[in-house]
Structure 1
């Protein structure tokens, strides 16, 4: 057995000031075992709230990490730090709530236009296409959350659900719906009548491009899922369709799908949401791309960009 001294980085309300805390663990113990010991001592300090780090460092240690691998052979015992991350909520729940917003908001604007615009709206084919695209997109996202995605982190701080959901509920929900279902885009509008936006061939071509982007996005998610066995945090280098050019083709294909909607409609609401979403995905892609290269080194394909082929 080895003595491990655990100190608190900051105040830990769940533990009521019981740190530093010393406990005996087996030499082959992992970080997850330490979390379990802390939880046994302080029942309100759940493992999902704990961030374990080496003393003086900020990078969290994953639960599978063996203490001997990061702390070496015990001399006078080991030292670790713990930080209380606060109340947590599962990433899966967060995703489900995020995507539920547009699924509830768009039907309200589409089926009850008189409530929002003070008049009935005879929907154009364009509006019907956009409504179908949005409902299919977010239904797909909900199903992927339940059946496809495997999360490297189980939880996140619960208050972040408000920030994360506002992006979808307000921008792709209220803003987009209020704009594209208004009378300007209706079947009787001069913005639609006699223009390319009422042309069946144009609408079908756009629908085909949108479907291509959505199915490609799904394919990349399935590729990533296959790299991580259930219940593990294992990471591998993805290859194949889309990944030969960029590290995160899922972001590229999603941006392409929303760009199609922007071209179809000329909607300011669609443009705002697409620009904001693409910007955020670019930030994520660049950060994760750097992490890939750092983790896999020379093994990682040198020619790949982060998100947009040959550009970014």
Structure 2
């Protein structure tokens, strides 16, 4: 069959339109076959760099085994092609994102004279916050390397700067500068916390972190290595919400807000929770769409609420 590649509107590429000849019919050829044919014609455009859409905006996943006919593509038809640009693996993305706070927080904590112009005797609150932040992002790095199985292999390299800003700036510089400053050092009224208050915050934070880790293992075990298998998760936390991992992370960072009583922690938590909620709603709708038997009583992220 023949199929014509056209460029997205506004593209100045001189390579398109380009007609490809594929050995087969729309009923026998798949989206993956088309993606491989594009890569043979243009070796630069690896499968993960390609975004191919039909005239009615249906996306052909380069790894999809669905036939071209199922997308309404006929012999002699056309699709629109977009180069997504150089790619970077998601595992590398997360390692870079979470590495930011691990690099930034020790600078502010240990180099107080350089940052604030004075030596700081850290309060119990500051020291505990430092330990909690470091352990949280070390856990994130561990999960990235040994727990998560990614359904998408790569993302456009240019997005790494936008994605990293959230962690490097909000949970990095923003949180570290304000929490480890002299206004919260030992002896200052703003840093005063009772032992009971500190132990309660620590206990709630540990609960949130360990619960988050447990739900990540639950999701991991739903997807055999090297597959994109999707299934309905059950077990700890999932009886109430579709994404208890987000809810437990919200608990962890809310605990940091109460421990520090700093608006910098609140700012990061509000932005992070808002983003997680957007993701949760989108994925929750996908669950209900793709699984007719999906539990109807589950909320997206917050138990009994939403």
TM class by shorter-chain length?
over 0.9
User: Residue deviations 1:265-289, cap 9 Å, x none?
Assistant: 1011101000111111111111111
1:187 aligned partner? 186
2:272 aligned partner? 277
User: Residue deviations 1:29-85, cap 9 Å, x none?
Assistant: 43223212211111111111112333432334351323167258x974665443222
2:159 aligned partner? 160
Provide the secondary structure at the position in 2 that maps to 1:156. Answer: strand
1:86 aligned partner? 85
1:7 aligned partner? 5
Provide the secondary structure at the position in 1 that maps to 2:207. Answer: helix
2:36 aligned partner? 36
Tell which deviates more after alignment, 18-27 or 174-183. 18-27
Q: Give runs of ≥4 in structure 1 deviating > 6 Å.
A: none
The answer to whether the aligner puts 1:59 opposite 2:54 as a matched pair is: no
Instruction: Within 5 Å, give how 1:120-159 maps onto structure 2.
Output: 120-159=119-158
Does the CA-based 8 Å contact 1:71-1:78 persist in structure 2?
A: no
Tell which deviates more after alignment, 171-180 or 204-213. 204-213
Q: TM-score, normalised by structure 1?
A: 0.90
Q: How far, CA to CA, are the matches of 2:111 and 2:236 in structure 1?
A: 42
Task: Give 1:201 deviation, angstroms.
Answer: 2.7
Does the CA-based 8 Å contact 1:252-1:307 persist in structure 2?
A: yes
Structure 1 unpaired stretches of 5+: none
User: Residue deviations 1:204-233, cap 9 Å, x none?
Assistant: 221111011001101111111111111111
Tell which deviates more after alignment, 95-104 or 80-89. 80-89
1:300 aligned partner? 294
Q: How far, CA to CA, are the matches of 1:267 and 1:119 in structure 2?
A: 21
Does the CA-based 8 Å contact 2:3-2:75 persist in structure 1?
A: no
Q: How far, CA to CA, are the matches of 1:75 and 1:58 in structure 2?
A: 14
Does the CA-based 8 Å contact 2:122-2:185 persist in structure 1?
A: yes
Does the CA-based 8 Å contact 2:30-2:66 persist in structure 1?
A: yes
Q: How far, CA to CA, are the matches of 2:278 and 2:121 in structure 1?
A: 40
Does the CA-based 8 Å contact 1:4-1:80 persist in structure 2?
A: no
2:283 aligned partner? 288
Q: How far, CA to CA, are the matches of 2:268 and 2:21 in structure 1?
A: 51
Q: How far, CA to CA, are the matches of 2:74 and 2:187 in structure 1?
A: 81
Alpha-carbon spacing, 1:148–1:174, altered in 2? closer, same or farther (3 Å): same
1:111 aligned partner? 110
Q: How far, CA to CA, are the matches of 1:75 and 1:158 in structure 2?
A: 34
Q: How far, CA to CA, are the matches of 1:246 and 1:76 in structure 2?
A: 45
Q: How many equivalent pairs are there? A: 303
Q: TM-score, normalised by structure 2?
A: 0.92
1:203 aligned partner? 198
Task: Give 1:157 deviation, angstroms.
Answer: 1.4
Alpha-carbon spacing, 1:62–1:294, altered in 2? closer, same or farther (3 Å): farther
Report the RMSD for the aligned CA atoms in angstroms: 2.1
Q: How far, CA to CA, are the matches of 2:304 and 2:129 in structure 1?
A: 30
Does the CA-based 8 Å contact 1:12-1:83 persist in structure 2?
A: no
Does the CA-based 8 Å contact 1:12-1:84 persist in structure 2?
A: no
Structure 2 unpaired stretches of 5+: none
Tell which deviates more after alignment, 220-229 or 76-85. 76-85
